[in-house]
Amino acid sequence: RFPQAFTYIPFALYTWNTLYISLYNVIATVISCTVVAYGFARLEWKGRDAVFALVIATMMLPYQVTLIPQYIIFSRLKWVGTFLPLTFPAWFATPFFIFLTRQFFMTLPAELTDAARIDGANDLGILVRIFVPLSRPALATMAVFTFMWNWNDFFWPLIYLTNQKQFTLSLGLYNFIGFVARTDWGLLMAASTMMTIPPVILFFLAQRSFIEGISLTGIKG
């Protein structure tokens, strides 16, 4: 049933759309959260702890509260019906990953930063040349989580995507039930199995770094 499931819907197009959104969010999330986490972990500035507490507090805010205001903003920007509402917010960092990366940065010796400053390195150089290479487990964990969340996401594409040519795999699989009078469950299961392959491959490729990141993050608060 796999060849039939692949051709029953534009599976390749939906896969490309989902892959584009997922990889874009991985890159944007890793860059933005790494920069913000470094600011909370290593830079001294007034009100840092209070701002960090505020950032963490936003994790308790359910998405239903911000759904309508966010939709209004994107609607006025004329972004509804495009990929922008699903990709652009990733550049503003995610509180959970800020916390995750910041905790990992706190485990790195402060002597590394001091030695780099003596050698004339600025904060950007310290982040790129020292913290990023040493934080690959945490960054890999962030990348895996972000990819899986975006790859499996159904709600946000349902809200913002209006053209079937922009649909993701999750929306495409839903069409098996939505537009067919009698659902072919064998066909649906075959398509669902193919959809799970990329996250499984990604997890096995990053398994070592992923597990290391989970085990090391949070040792030092």
The pLDDT value recorded for residue 171 is 87
Under DSSP, is residue 34 helix (H, G, I), strand (E, B) or coil?
Answer: helix
Model confidence pLDDT, tens digit, residues 22-43: 999 999 999 999 999 999 998 8
Looking at residue 213, its pLDDT comes to: 52
Query: What whole-number distance in Å separates Cα of residue 209 and Cα of residue 138?
Result: 8
DSSP helix/strand/coil, 79: coil
Q: What is the pTM of this model?
A: 0.85
Instruction: Show the tokens assigned to 82.
Output: 């495009």
Asked if 92 contacts 73 with a C-beta cutoff of 8 angstroms, the reply is no
69-118 pLDDT, tens digit per residue, is: 999 999 999 999 999 999 999 999 999 999 989 988 888 888 888 888 88
Predicted confidence (pLDDT) per residue in 129-182, tens digit: 889 988 888 888 899 899 999 999 999 999 999 888 999 988 888 776 655 456
Tokens of 217: 């993050």
Tell me the pLDDT of the chain averaged across its residues.
Answer: 84
Question: What sections of 95-168 are H helices per DSSP?
Answer: 95-106, 110-118, 123-126, 132-134, 136-151, 155-160
Name the residue type at position 120.
Answer: G
| Residue 104: predicted pLDDT | 87
Distance between CA atoms of 185 and 178, rounded to whole angstroms?
13
Provide the CB-side half-sphere exposure for 23 (13 A, CA). Answer: 8
